[in-house]
Amino acid sequence: MLLIVMHNNQEYLKYLNQAALKEGIKDIAIIKKSGIGTRLIGGTSDIIFTRGSMNNAYDKAFVAAVKDEEKTKHFLDIIEADTYLEHLNMQDRGFVCAVPFHYIKNFELETPIIKNKEVKMNISQFLKENRILLNLEASNKKDAISELAAVLGNSKEVSDFKLFLNDVFQREALNTTAIGNEIAIPHARTDGVKEFVMAIARVKRGIDFVALDNKPVKLIFLMGTPKEKGVNDYLQKLAHLTRLLQKESFRNSLIRVSSAKEIIEEFRKVEDV
């Protein structure tokens, strides 16, 4: 899950960064964007837990990828007990929450490498025709993920297929990856892959993924990335894909086309805009 702390005190967020490193939490970033609350996570329907009040006055946030809820709460207890953080936090208690990875929508990492620079992200470069299934026949979520993952079984990016698939299912057990609009993005950060890998399936009849909008899923995007590569780049890919899929015209085009080659072409077109 992602632990998010929104606050306008830069020193407070930097100190959180140091505290996280001491606790062995390495996948961390400080994000800077006006109206960070709605830009980062949108609504609050799928937030796992919260503390404080989210509002558009925040323009900075600390984000950390934390293994589970127990470790997240442990880190929050450390924050509560730190007297220096308490001093920095006197004027504004900030907003704290935890959300699933796929609910990150829009962010700009505040690092020297990409600050004030637009980072070009293309999902199309990771797509291959033999990893796109146009007529998946599975009738349930488990079978659908398994059948789609099978197209990656012999790929050079996957080093341990069984581990990769198991990690995807473990992630799915935490919270559904169905994001609404008949879309699901099952994914995992895993030691079972050496490089980022992706596969796509289309299901004509739709499958129940326990989506928030209760709609059956017709487009499935399976993603995996190595744990050792960190979380920032992976979050960017998830966020970029989610933003593309928010476009109704793009979703309709993916449903309409008749070949895997055309699926890739549709991604290229929308990403060239």
The residues annotated as belonging to the active site are: 187
Name the 3-class secondary structure at 202: strand
Q: How many CA atoms lie within 13 A of 188 on its CB side?
A: 22
Q: How many CA atoms lie within 13 A of 187 on its CB side?
A: 30
Instruction: Report the alpha-carbon angle 161-100-142, nearest 5.
Output: 40
Q: Identify the CA nearest to 124 among candidates 272, 233, 264.
A: 264
Task: Calculate helix-pair angle for 10-22, 69-81, nearest 10 degrees.
Answer: 120
What sections of 177-247 are H helices per DSSP?
232-245
In this structure, the number of other CB atoms found within 10 A of the CB of residue 144 comes to: 24
Q: Identify the CA nearest to 251 among candidates 172, 179, 165.
A: 179
What sections of the chain are H helices per DSSP?
10-22, 36-41, 69-81, 83-88, 141-150, 161-174, 232-245, 248-256, 260-271
- 1 with 68: CB under 8 angstroms? yes
- φ and ψ of 248, to 5 deg: -60, -40
